[in-house]
Amino acid sequence: MRRLLPVLLCIACSSEPDKSVATPEDASGGTTEPSPFDGDPADPLPSDPLSEPSVSTDPVGDADARPTPEDTHRAIKRMNLEQLSGAMQSISGGIAWSEGDELYWDTFGETLGVADYQTRLRDNLDASIMFQKFLDDASVHTCDAWVAGEAEGDTRRFFSAAEPDDTDPTTVAANLVALRLLIHGRQSAPEDPIIVNYGAVFETVLRRTDDPIAAWTTVCVGFFTHPDFYTY
């Protein structure tokens, strides 16, 4: 018992609260929390944190509110032989590149790249030299019959703005404008470069042959062999 008494006295003394540190009291008699700052506060805020930012009014250039979208283009395609044959017959009033019952577009189809589904599964639509050669043959055949037929008959599909024997440059230009719309499906004016160039072809052939029909036939072939006819 003498040995336990000092130990119990030590435990009792250590369980009492430490009153050496005084807790500040407020006016009502309660205690207040100590300040979180031991020393000086952090850096002070600016005197006017909501002041307006500076804005420069110097011009930097012009800009479109809605920029123009970029033009998109698709690849140009060539008509296949069936389309070419149908187009030339429709334009010329039913003249086919044929002799008797033989339609040359069918005869030369394999040479011109028509698919046979054995060695070729798709049509070859390249504007090759061979294609240009056969297109020229078809155009000469069609134009010879078309121009000569209208010169001797009453139909005025080719000569919609001129007579077969007209050679006046103004009248020739008017008929060329009509032919471009008929064959190429495009509007033109007499002063457009393509019309001026076809007019020069007409004048050249007319001077060499003294034959308006030959001049018109040459112009007709030129329209059919132009890419504006067989591409889309």
**pTM assigned to the model:** 0.67
Q: Which of 98-107, 135-144, 207-216 has the lowest mean pLDDT?
A: 98-107
Kindly tell me the sign of the dihedral angle through the C-alpha atoms of 26, 32, 38, 41: negative
57-96: pLDDT as tens digits: 777 777 666 766 666 666 778 899 999 999 999 999 999 9
Residues 6+ apart with CB under 8 A from 112: 81, 105, 124, 130, 131, 134
Q: What is the mean pLDDT of residues 46-62?
A: 69
For the beta carbon of residue 196, count every other beta carbon within 10 angstroms: 12
Rounded to an integer, what distance in angstroms lies between the CA atom of residue 178 and that of residue 155?
15
The pLDDT of residue 50 is: 60
